[in-house]
Amino acid sequence: MTRTGGDKTRKRILEVAEELFSKNGFHATSVNQITRQAKVNKALIYYYFKDKNDIVVSLFQNILEELSGPKPDPSGQESGRGGTDIREALKEEISFLERKKNIISVMLMESLKTHDQDTPIFKCAEMVMAREHERPKTKPVLFHEFFTGFIPLIAFVALREKFCDYYQCDKEEALSFFVKSFKASHINSHIECKEEA
């Protein structure tokens, strides 16, 4: 198989898996279903991926690669990508993530259902933290990044639409409130967390 053919096959497997995970849930989707819908040999799936968890992690890795570029400065500086105000940079990132909401929702929901320690949400969080920070991953920093950064961001992406429908509020207004809260609770507290670490 040529490299280009292999890349296309891997991409097709990921697209089908994302569609099935979103429709049926992670645990209700079997590798056999992915095989049938992607029209590939089952061995080929295991050639590209260790297991279903690895497929979810790969889907999230693709999201991160698409998001690649300068990140908003976590030190509290008021600039993000190319001098963009950090609030605008966060809004752009959230807008992108919402286009990937299905797989983010699957990852979030499956992490709540499983008792398995090897849940994809932790691997995905590690990828985000490694992308954003070069400082040592002390327990206070890990706690801060996971519970005040990663989880609120993916929860907002997964739940904003339902939240706005339930509370009858404007989606753009909700986005502005979230960005303001995220900046105050996560970004502005990076310095404090760094000093304690």
User: Is 63 within 8 Å of 71 (Cβ atoms)?
Assistant: no
Query: What's the confidence (pLDDT) of residue 192?
Result: 60
From the list 118, 141, 114, the residue with the least C-alpha distance to 128 is 141
Query: What's the confidence (pLDDT) of residue 36?
Result: 97
Range in 52-56, 114-118, 171-175 the model is least confident about: 114-118
CB-based burial label for 173 (10 Å; 0-12, 13-18, 19+): exposed
Whether pLDDT at 133 is above 90: no
The more confident residue out of 132 and 175 is 175
CB-based burial label for 115 (10 Å; 0-12, 13-18, 19+): exposed
Query: What's the confidence (pLDDT) of residue 135?
Result: 59
**Radius of gyration for the chain, computed over Cα atoms and rounded to the nearest angstrom:** 18
User: Is 154 within 8 Å of 108 (Cβ atoms)?
Assistant: yes
The more confident residue out of 69 and 31 is 31
Whether pLDDT at 163 is above 90: yes
CA–CA–CA angle 106, 151, 143 (5° rounding): 135
Whether pLDDT at 55 is above 50: yes
Query: What's the pLDDT tens digit per position in 66-116?
Result: 876 555 444 444 444 444 688 888 898 898 889 888 888 888 887 887 777
What is the number of alpha carbons within 13 Å of residue 102 lying toward its C-beta? 14
